Structure 1
Amino acid sequence: MSIEALKAQIPDFAKDVRLNLGAIANDESLGEQTKYGLLLACAIATRNAEVAAAFDAEAVTRLSPEARDAARAAAAVMAMNNVYYRFVHLASNPVYKTLPAKLRMNVIASPGAPKADFELWCLAVSAINGCGACVDAHEKALLASGVTQESAQTAVRFAAILQSAAIALEAAKLPVLA
């Protein structure tokens, strides 16, 4: 499935989502690898098979196998980290902040894609997953590496659009009650 096929599945009540998906397709503010790795990682993070399939189909022709795996790894490692660090951040017991995480996350050091791309993908996935601690950590790393605030904002905007597409598709499956 392509982005265009996905757009065609978005119901009329979510016309803005269709328009925003179209804007993503035409947005050239990020390089191709950065953009399509970001879209794939975010699509996976939405936990919607249709959205993930559509963006994987787009990524397969635009990303190397290593970059595709890196995008998948960003979604996977952030699924773990976002749960853990959101808990540590939200827990009122300060002891959790002092304990070692004991979570394997070697992929962050060697992701198989440029470090700035991977950090941007992790930022966007963390925004979808609602982990403020991870959002702050990845945004800080991005800015330190020279990535602009505009690029970070674009990444999170794309994440928001993909999440809204996933929700619109799920909402369309609800039965119509008279």
Structure 2
Amino acid sequence: MGLDAIKAALPAYARDTKLNLGTVLGTSPLTAQQLWGTALACAFAARNAFVLREIAAEAADHLKPEAIEAAKGAASIMAMNNVYYRSKHLIGDDAYQSLPARLRMQIIGNPGVDKADFELWSLAVSAITGCGVCLESHEKTLIGTGIGREAVHEALRIAAVVHAAAVTLDAESALTA
């Protein structure tokens, strides 16, 4: 169950992903809440049911219920915000920048956990979905709260390996269907 199940499910050609998954989630300098909240939010964003179930099961051993809900909330709100802000940016017309979002985002102001942890989770989800505007915004906020670049870097590493595991297992599932 958990990470061991994901690693066991990965095919031989994904050995690097398997090893990186164990290393990144096994030796992180992040707090347990930062680490497992990031992994859980990334598993939601990566959209693979197996990876999500297994990371959620393992995260439950390390997170309080309010942190689990906040990590899921970070993935949910960033699913919306990443599309909206990335799209405004990619259109390339500055006139869109002055238009208000008029989208409800109250969880960002009151996530139910330490704001810096929620920002870290939001940054990691933004890395998976590729929203440069959100990445810049969350990184700036994190640096402003005293979270160092090392923590930001760790969140990006977690996002990368969780996403790689999800993509690999999705592809293998498609090939055997």
Say yes or no: TM over 0.5. Answer: yes
Match of 1:61 in 2: 61
Q: In the alignment, is the contact (CA less than 8 A) between 2:10 and 2:168 conserved in 1?
A: yes
Deviations 1:126-157 (A, max 9, x none): 01010000000000000000000011011011
Deviating above 4 A after TM superposition, structure 1's stretches of 4 or more consecutive aligned residues are: none
Instruction: Give, in angstroms, the shift of residue 93 of structure 1.
Output: 2.2
Tell me the distance in 2 between the aligned counterparts of 1:136 and 1:28: 23
Instruction: Give, in angstroms, the shift of residue 24 of structure 1.
Output: 2.4
User: 2:29 corresponds to which letter in structure 1?
Assistant: S
Tell me the distance in 2 between the aligned counterparts of 1:106 and 1:116: 16
Match of 2:110 in 1: 110
Tell me the distance in 2 between the aligned counterparts of 1:102 and 1:123: 21
Match of 2:81 in 1: 81
Tell me the distance in 1 between the aligned counterparts of 2:115 and 2:25: 24
Tell me the distance in 2 between the aligned counterparts of 1:34 and 1:93: 36
Q: How many positions carry a matched residue from both structures?
A: 176
Tell me the distance in 2 between the aligned counterparts of 1:175 and 1:48: 15
- Matched-pair identity in %: 49
Match of 1:123 in 2: 123
Tell me the distance in 2 between the aligned counterparts of 1:37 and 1:160: 15
Q: Select the structure that is richer in helix.
A: 2
Instruction: Give, in angstroms, the shift of residue 95 of structure 1.
Output: 1.6
Residue 175 of structure 1: SS of its match in structure 2? helix
Match of 2:39 in 1: 39
The unaligned stretches of length 5 or more in structure 2 are: none
Match of 1:14 in 2: 14
Once the two structures are superposed, the pairs formed by residues 82-161 of structure 1 within 5 Å of their partners are 82-161=82-161
User: TM-score, length-normalised on structure 1?
Assistant: 0.96
Tell me the distance in 2 between the aligned counterparts of 1:167 and 1:92: 30
Deviations 1:78-106 (A, max 9, x none): 00000000011111222211100001000
The unaligned stretches of length 5 or more in structure 1 are: none
Deviations 1:2-32 (A, max 9, x none): 1101100000011101001110232130010
Instruction: Give, in angstroms, the shift of residue 70 of structure 1.
Output: 0.2
